Structure formats: structure tokens, C-alpha cells
Amino acid sequence: MLNKLMKVLMGVALPLAFLTTGPAIAEIREHQLKFASANNKGHPQVMGMEKFADIVKEKSNGKITVKLFPGGVLGGDVQTVSALQGGVIEMTVLNAGILAGNAKQFGAVDLPFLFNSGEEADKVMDGPFGASLMKLLPDTGLVGLAFWELGFRNLTNNRHPVAKLEDIKGLKIRTIQSPIPIELFNSLGANAVPMPYTELYTALETGTVDGQENPAANIVNAKFYEVQKYMTVTRHQYNPQIVLVSKKFFDGLNDEEKAVLQSAADEARDYQRKVSREQDAASIDEIKKTGMEVTELSPEETQKLREAVKPIIDKFSAEIGPETVEQLFKELNAARGQ
């Protein structure tokens, strides 16, 4: 009887031990990831990617390696998203608003004059609103890991200084391939020309477009100052960026491997935002040193811009979904202590 009891107890104990030791705990396997982006080495976006790759290597004991492809060498953002969905590329980081074509709710982050500071954006994007956007992605063949930062966009052109709203009229301005920026500049009297970032320098150099709009760090990193004469500090839009993984690839990972990528994206996020804000502060001074004429809009002219784009906010709020926009502004007000 005692022997039978011992066998029963051992039969229970052995599976329990089995479940809590080696074989049942997920083990990290060998993987190599292709991580693509549009910006060049030295840009805060790419610095974040480099940090991410280092953290992944450390956390996986060298088993997971991340190979970086900056500078748009694997294609523009829209192409890269398609490549992720097809499982051809494993990762990318890009402006979150570009995903409005995959899930309309992402258009909310493209609304003009939305955030007053990066820190304000962090609270919203790292909170329930950002999480609600992430949940939409798996149905589109993508997985979101974290929100990083591109920053506040400013206007440049090659024709004349822009010191007031009327100065924008008639300018051919390249915008990102997303509905709100296109309509934003058309509504201000410009001719919006959506095109991949990878084609922008040549378009400015050849006069295909008169100008463009990007954060100051991009203007320095891509050397747009070589082909642009005038910059206006408009800060008309803030771009959170999103770190994406191919769902096809991600679904093939075990829990421990997924956790490595997630924690690395989170850790790299804090570093990336820090260098982004440091570069933004330094880049305007650097742009001035290149000989570009930099114009600061007066508060009155900034208010005119805000008033001019209000119809866009109303129009796209209806298209994005009132409940999404309502949640966004509720969290934004909470971040402002209102």
C-alpha cells in the first residue's frame, strides 16, 4: 500500500518538477531580424534602433541579432509596412499616422496642433489611448511594441520666407503619405504632394516640390538645408513613431523571445525620446549656422494657423471615429491636469 502511495505521489511530483524546470520554460533560440527605417544613421530614430539592437543582444545572450537597414534602403514606409505584413522584413519604425491606411483610428495622432510638448504626448501614447491603437494592429498583420518620437514638424521652402498664413499659398509642399497632412496643407492654400521620404531630397533639389515639413533633426540629418533656403518654426504637428514587428514573424516566437523584444523596445523608447529632444533643441541653431533663414511665427500668426485647420479636425474626427477622438482628448486633458 505504501509503495502504491509513493508511486502516486511521485507521479504528481514529477510533472510538477518537469513544469518548473528547463524543458517547460521557454528557451531563446537563434534569430536574425531585419529592422528597417527611412532616416539616416545619426538621426534619433536610428539611434533608438541601435540601442534596441544592443539591448536585444544583451537580453538574449547574443542569440537574437538585429540587423539595421536605415536610410530607406529597403524602401519607403508604405512599402516597408507591406513587407512586414508579408513576413519579408521583421521590423520597422515609422510615423504612427501612416498606419491610418491600415486602421483609421491611427489618423487621430496626425491631427494638427494636438500636443503642446513631447512629455504631454508621452502620457497619452504610453497610456490607454496608445494601447487601444496597438490592439488594432494584429488584424492587419502587424504587432506594435512601443511608441517612440519623431517630434514637432516645421515648414521649409525654397521660394520665400513664410512669416504669415498667406505666405503658404501656392507653395508645392511634400507631405507624408497620410490623409490629414495632405488635406492640412491643401487647406492652407499650398499644393500638397505626398511622396516617400526616400525621394524627398531629390524632389527638393530638382524643384519638383518647393518645400517640405519635418522636425528640425530631420532637416539636419537629411541635409535639406543644402536644397532649402527658408525655414519657419510652425510646430504644426507632432509625430509619435511606432515600432512594428511582422505578425507572421512574431507569432513564431515563444513567450520568452517576445518578452525580450518588448522589454528592449520599452527601454530603447526612453533613450530614443531623450536624444530626440536633445537633437531638436540643438538642430535649429545648427540650421541657422548653415545659412538658412529661420522665421519664428508670432503668437498671432500661430493662432491664425490653428483657426485655419479647425475644419480639418472636425472633418477627420468624424472619419476616424468620434469615440476614438473623444478618448484621445479625454486623456490629453488629463495629461494637462484639466
Amino acid letter for position 165: L
- Domains defined for the chain, CATH in brackets: 32-270+279-335 (3.40.190.170)
CB atoms within 10 A of CB 74: 19
Q: CA of 170: how far to CAs of 183, 189, 191, 225, in Å?
A: 14, 6, 6, 21
CA count, 13 A, side-chain hemisphere, 150? 29
Q: What is the pLDDT of residue 25?
A: 44
CB 138 within 8 A of CB 157: no
pLDDT of 208: 98
- pLDDT for the residue numbered 108: 96
pTM of the model: 0.88
Backbone phi, psi, residue 13, to 5°:
-65, -40
- As a whole number of angstroms, the distance between CA 232 and CA 19 comes to 62
d(CA 231, CA 173): 13
Pick out the chain residues at pLDDT < 50: 2, 4-25
Q: What is the pLDDT of residue 178?
A: 87
Per-residue H/E/C for the chain: CHHHHHHHHHHHHHHHHHHHCHHHCCCCCCEEEEEECCCCCCCHHHHHHHHHHHHHHHHCCCCEEEEEECCCCCCCHHHHHHHHHCCCCCEEEEEHHHHHHCCHHHHHHHCCCCCCCHHHHHHHHCCHHHHHHHCCCHHHCEEEEEEEEEEEEEEEECCCCCCCHHHHCCCEEEECCCHHHHHHHHHCCCEEEECCHHHHHHHHHHCCCCEEEECHHHHHHCCHHHCCCEEEEEEEEEEEEEEEEEHHHHCCCCHHHHHHHHHHHHHHHHHHHHHHHHHHHHHHHHHHHCCCEEEECCHHHHHHHHHHHHHHHHHHHHHHCHHHHHHHHHHHHHHCCC
pLDDT score recorded for residue 12: 44
Place of cell 518578452: 259
Strands 64-69 and 293-296: what pairing? unpaired
Output the pLDDT for position 59. Answer: 96
d(CA 108, CA 180): 9
For residue 8, the model assigns a pLDDT of 41
Give pLDDT, residue 338: 79
> Residue 116 — φ and ψ, nearest 5°?
-95, -20
pLDDT at 281: 87
10 Å CB burial of residue 24 (0-12, 13-18, 19+) is: exposed
